[in-house]
A = this chain, B = another copy of it.
Amino acid sequence: MSAWVDDANASLLTDLYELTMAAGYVDAGIAEGEAAFELFVRRLPPSRRFLVACGIEQALDHLTSLRFDDDALRYLRSLDLFDEAFLDRLRELRFTGDVHAVAEGELVFGGEPILRVTAPLIEAQLVETFLIATVGFQTMVASKAARVAIGARGRDFADFSARRDHGPDAALKAARAAYVGGAASTSNVLAGREYGIPLSGTMAHAYVMAFADEREAFRRFAAAFPGRAVLLVDTYDTVRGAERVVEVAREGADVTAVRLDSGDLDALSRQVRRILDDGGLGHVRILASGDLDEHRVAALVDAGAPIDAFGVGTRMGTSEDAPSLGMVYKLVADPSGPRMKRSEGKVTVPGCKQVHRFGDHDVLARHDERVDGGRPLLDLVVDGGERVAPPAPLAAARDRCAAAVAALPEPFRRLDGDAAWDVRVSPALAELQREVEARLAAG
- Where the two chains meet, the residues of A that have a C-beta atom closer than 8 Å to any C-beta of B are 1-7, 9-10, 12-21, 23-25, 27-28, 30, 35, 37, 58, 61-62, 65, 72, 75-76, 79, 81, 121, 125, 128-130, 132-134, 136-138, 160, 162-174, 187-190, 192-195, 199-207, 209-213, 220-221, 223-225, 228, 234-237, 261-263, 314, 318-320, 323-324, 327, 330-331, 334, 336, 339, 341-346, 440, 443
Contact = CB atoms under 8 A, between A and B. Distances in A.
A13 B190 contact: yes
A162 B189 contact: no
A319 B15 CA distance: 19
Contacts of A23: 224-225
Given A28-B224, A167-B173, 9 more contacts: A10-B190, A13-B172, A14-B188, A28-B220, A35-B210, A132-B163, A163-B327, A206-B330, A261-B343
Given A5-B4, A166-B166, A167-B134, A323 B318 contact: yes
B16 A200 contact: yes
B236 A342 contact: yes
A212 B130 CA distance: 27
A343 B205 contact: yes
23 contacts: A1-B65, A2-B7, A2-B61, A3-B195, A4-B4, A5-B190, A9-B190, A10-B190, A12-B189, A12-B190, A15-B188, A16-B192, A30-B210, A30-B211, A37-B206, A129-B163, A130-B168, A163-B327, A166-B173, A167-B169, A205-B331, A234-B344, A318-B324
Closest 3 CB pairs of A and B: A16-B201, A169-B169, A166-B166
B320 A314 contact: no
A187 B13 CA distance: 10
Contact of A75 (B171, B193, B346): B193
Nearest to A237: B342
A5 B133 contact: no
Contacts of A221: 20, 24
B236 A27 contact: no
A204 B323 CA distance: 24
Given A205-B343, A235-B341, A210 B121 contact: yes
Contacts of A236: 342-343, 440
A404 B147 CA distance: 42
Contacts of A28: 211, 220, 224
Contact of A168 (B2, B5, B327, B346): B5
A343 B81 CA distance: 57
A343 B235 contact: yes
A121 B79 CA distance: 47
A62 B262 contact: no
B2 A65 contact: yes
Contacts of A76: 189
Nearest to A200: B16
B164 A136 contact: yes
A223 B27 contact: yes
B334 A210 contact: yes
